[in-house]
Structure 1
Amino acid sequence: MNLYLLRHTQPDVAPGICYGQTDLGLAASFDAELQRIRAGLAEVHVDHVHSSPLQRCQRLAAALAAGKVHQDPRLMELDFGEWELQLWETIPRGLVEVWTEDYVQHAPPGGESFFDLQQRAISFFDEVSANNEDLLVVTHAGVIRALLAHALNMQLLDAFRLRVDYGSLSQLELQDGRVTVSAVNRRF
């Protein structure tokens, strides 16, 4: 089984804005990014396409899928709660510092921790890996980092060392009950 983790393309959001589960549209560069991704995936065969229900993933997944796209809320980005759509610089510095010191266990007010995100991502992975099919999963950087950290037995606190660019592909292989990472942040 191969699990191809594809991060969505550039969203339409101003720099410095905190966003996670906010349903953002895509930047004007979407068509050009889509063509590069489509060409890069030309030799990749998948049995099914899964996607976060947020439109920045759903639109890319629909453009790449030959059939139905399976939406799954477990593939959504981190919920930043009250911080969603706020400028990072306007969020009280003390609150951000507490969160950044242990974002694995601490959640922004009204949001979720990175540990919570990883648990839902692992739940998705465990469910789909039982089918032994090759899947394309269009999702977000947080979900991709969480699954890569899980596969690499990496401390979740270190997951943000992994670079996951817009439109990049990471790949997990599951064979004989063992998960390996075949690619991280492959750009097209």
Structure 2
Amino acid sequence: MVAPEEVLKNEAVRAYLFRMIGEEGMSLLEKFPPEGEFSDEDLAESTSINLNAVRHTLYTLYGKRLAEYRRIKNSETGWLTYLWVLRLDNIDNCLTEDTEAVLEILQAREEYESMNDFYICPQCGLRYTFDEALNRDFICQNCDQKMDHFDNDLLSEALRRRVDRIKENLGKFD
């Protein structure tokens, strides 16, 4: 297993995790004991972080396979206790999966931009595809202004460059 302090040295990983779990979550990662399994109550007490914030962070990390738990049942009370460990050694897979998901979205947007001709309302800024504009006689449905042609070449090029950079980072080439 990878120690949290090792993973948290990377600023890009810190930024990614911060967006995922916020300030209290980052504080939990920084204070998480280096070895062993810990209940959420123990973690809240030892780190002085609100129990709900600890639970939210652990379940968020669990959803990304960056934490895991073992469940034990108290034979007298029937209560379940979850003992948590961090699995930050999965961070590379997590980052790759999320980056690939973003890549899919950007590729779909890039295709949409390149396959359509657009018109825009100069008054309110609503953008329409050619077919939508034609169906509305090139009059904005929002403010009844005449639409102008919208040149999306700059946007299309920016999307292409972004997609290419992400593919390069992932080692994917067409």
Q: TM-score, normalised by structure 2?
A: 0.25
Higher relative contact order (CA 8 A, sep 6+): 1
Higher relative helix content: 2
